[in-house]
Structure 1
Amino acid sequence: MNQRLDVVLTNNLEQMSRSQIKKIFDKGNVLLDNQPIKASYQSKFDDEITIFIEDEVKYDLEPIDLGIEVIYEDDDVAVINKPQGLVVHPSVSFKEKTLINGIKFLFNDQLSTLNGDLRPGIVHRIDKDTSGLLMIAKNDFAHEELVKQLQVHSIKRVYEAICYGEFKETSGTISAPIGRDEINRLKMAVTDTGKTAVTHFSILERFNGFTFVQCELETGRTHQIRVHMSYINHPLVGDVTYGPKKAIGQTGQYLHAKEIGFNHPRTGEFMSFTKERPENFNTYLEKLRDEN
């Protein structure tokens, strides 16, 4: 039976009072599918809820020049190129400098507040070891409009990846629900109780034992491409979480968010941006080409 989420948390987080839980909701620090949710939300059994508890931990959110490349910027939205190895926002398990420090340096206080104090301007995320394009909302109106587009899967997100193995197909679609791994809760997995997840792929280049692949997201689940490629027995090279434990080439998956397209939140005009792969990605591609 569905129940208000604040009631569920009050009943299960015995160390916290109802007033403390209310403050967490008020700050936008209770998330469903990476988006803030209201206390009145009727929770379901398979919901993936993330809670950020700020009171006990001090985070360094000072503006820092991290050399983040700005691809596009106007009064409502920006598109930036996140380098590989940089975490998007701080959390209980990670308190070092993050992309938040970099975008606060770039955009000062011109960032949306809907995702709370720890994630200003953040509309969506990519993993620490994934490079490439991210949208940044510079006000709450833009943030709300971009989230609506994410919810109806109208935002175009194209990635490039290097996978283990040789594909028989030239293209295909992986439609397999993704949820929290039942054994290792730090991982995601294809599971019957997961949420709908769809990835379209096409082959860019073939090598002996490896394949260079383009992936386009229809949905945007946590670790979606990494999980889906591992599910079809073609995990990403460098991904020690969903692939071989001994990384080849580097620690961290060869995955790059190459293209993002969306309707401008205020004008409605469709905008598309691309960013070429980072140098280390190209270096490994050249190595594979030389070996073939």
Structure 2
Amino acid sequence: MDKRFKLQFQAEKDGQLLREAISKFGISKRGLTSIKYRGGAIFVNGEERTVRHFLKIGDEITILFPPEEFSEGLIVEHKDFPILYEDDAFLIVDKPPFLNTIPSREHPTGSLANYISGYFEKRGIHSTVHIVTRLDRDTSGVVCIAKHSHIHHLMGLQQKRNEINKQYEAIVHGHIREAEQAIVAPIGRKDTSIIEREVRSDGQYSHTDVVVLKKGYTQTMDPITHVRLKLHTGRTHQIRVHMAHIGHPLVGDELYGGSRELFNRQALHCVLLELEHPLTGQQLQFTSKVPVPMRELMND
């Protein structure tokens, strides 16, 4: 059985070049080169053709992509994780806190990517791990993983066009006065750190919308605010940096001024992911409930 990822469709125009017909699938020049020289193929009515072939209405086109090259440096591990949705294109999971999305040189094992590679191996899915929406280690919630490099490419284009809607809920220090606000402040790397970011004039354009859901107090009477956040850009540590910038760092976020006396991680959870299916065009929405410890912090 051929394990290569494939796309199939019918020609809708007489005399159209095959190259033009497949352009609707967003295959890049690099992708076409890969198909041609690295083990892929394009068939019309069962016969292999080049992209210069002219089509007739009703022709059956099959695009076979080259076999996925598994990441040699990714160690396969087997551990269950919550799956919200799965089809041939991608996998949506509910990432728990205290779990890296991808491995690092210092921690080559125990990441979500390691476990997904094990899941793919167990299910006979011939794919490497393509993370579409990445979360920090301490951040929990919805994560999207593409099952093929072409799907990853298409979803990357959606991200660049700001067509993927990601929303978070967080608990921050203090009481925020404004019920709603837009934080538009450029973010760049801090000169004295390879990890920490800050708002700076020469940084990248960054936009976060903030809506107050509830104000309250901890058991020790520290003022805190439960907020909903929508990202319009995807900068590293964007929510954490923007909230610290307005004087309300995330509870538990010591890197940006938060305190761990109340919570043992940054109180941040991705509650919603909306996107267009890269193959069908269907609008999809995936949600995840705020974890119990965060709700307990707000006395919910």
Q: Under TM normalisation by the shorter chain, which class is it?
A: 0.7 to 0.9
Most deviating of 188-197 and 102-111? 102-111
Among all aligned residue pairs of Structure 1 and Structure 2, give the percentage whose two residues are the same amino acid.
35
In the other structure, the counterpart of 2:198 is 189
Q: TM-score when scaled to structure 1?
A: 0.72
SS of the residue aligned with 2:116? Answer: helix
In the other structure, the counterpart of 1:282 is 295
In the other structure, the counterpart of 2:181 is 172
In the other structure, the counterpart of 1:91 is 104
- Mapped partners of 2:126, 2:160: distance in 1: 21
Q: Tell me the C-alpha RMSD between the 2 structures.
A: 1.7
> Residues 148-182 of structure 1: CA distance to partner in whole angstroms, max 9, x if unpaired?
01111110100000000111100010001111011
User: Within the alignment, does 1:258 sit opposite 2:267 as a pair?
Assistant: no
SS of the residue aligned with 1:163? Answer: strand
**Residues 5-84 of structure 1: matches in 2 within 5 Å?**
61-65=75-79, 67-84=80-97
Shift in Å, 1:59:
5.6
- Mapped partners of 1:112, 1:105: distance in 2: 11
In the other structure, the counterpart of 1:34 is none
Shift in Å, 1:60:
6.1
Of 243, 247, 255, 1:229 maps to 243
Unpaired segments ≥5 residues, structure 1: 1-57, 114-119
In the other structure, the counterpart of 1:151 is 160
- Mapped partners of 1:252, 1:134: distance in 2: 18
**Residues 135-150 of structure 1: matches in 2 within 5 Å?**
135-150=144-159
Q: Please say if residues 175 and 199 of structure 1, whose CA atoms lie closer than 8 Å, have aligned partners that are also in contact.
A: yes
- Mapped partners of 1:141, 1:80: distance in 2: 20
- Mapped partners of 1:278, 1:172: distance in 2: 25
User: Is the alpha carbon distance of 1:111 and 1:235 closer, same or farther for their aligned partners in structure 2, counting shifts above 3 Å?
Assistant: farther
In the other structure, the counterpart of 1:268 is 281
SS of the residue aligned with 1:202? Answer: strand
- Mapped partners of 2:200, 2:275: distance in 1: 30
Shift in Å, 1:249:
2.5
In the other structure, the counterpart of 1:217 is 231
Residue type at the aligned position of 2:231: L
- Mapped partners of 2:113, 2:283: distance in 1: 26
SS of the residue aligned with 2:270? Answer: strand
User: Is the alpha carbon distance of 1:111 and 1:178 closer, same or farther for their aligned partners in structure 2, counting shifts above 3 Å?
Assistant: farther
Residue type at the aligned position of 1:110: I
Q: Please say if residues 60 and 97 of structure 1, whose CA atoms lie closer than 8 Å, have aligned partners that are also in contact.
A: no
- Mapped partners of 1:210, 1:234: distance in 2: 9
Shift in Å, 1:107:
2.7
- Mapped partners of 1:172, 1:265: distance in 2: 32
- Mapped partners of 1:175, 1:110: distance in 2: 42
> Residues 207-234 of structure 1: CA distance to partner in whole angstroms, max 9, x if unpaired?
1411000000000110100000000000
SS of the residue aligned with 2:298? Answer: helix
Shift in Å, 1:77:
1.0
Q: How many residues align?
A: 222
Unpaired segments ≥5 residues, structure 2: 1-71, 218-222
Residue type at the aligned position of 2:197: M
- Mapped partners of 2:133, 2:84: distance in 1: 17
SS of the residue aligned with 1:241? Answer: helix
- Mapped partners of 1:89, 1:111: distance in 2: 19
> Residues 256-281 of structure 1: CA distance to partner in whole angstroms, max 9, x if unpaired?
00000000010111101111011221
User: Is the alpha carbon distance of 1:78 and 1:248 closer, same or farther for their aligned partners in structure 2, counting shifts above 3 Å?
Assistant: same
Q: Please say if residues 133 and 257 of structure 1, whose CA atoms lie closer than 8 Å, have aligned partners that are also in contact.
A: yes
- Mapped partners of 1:141, 1:60: distance in 2: 20
- Mapped partners of 2:190, 2:107: distance in 1: 21
SS of the residue aligned with 1:154? Answer: coil
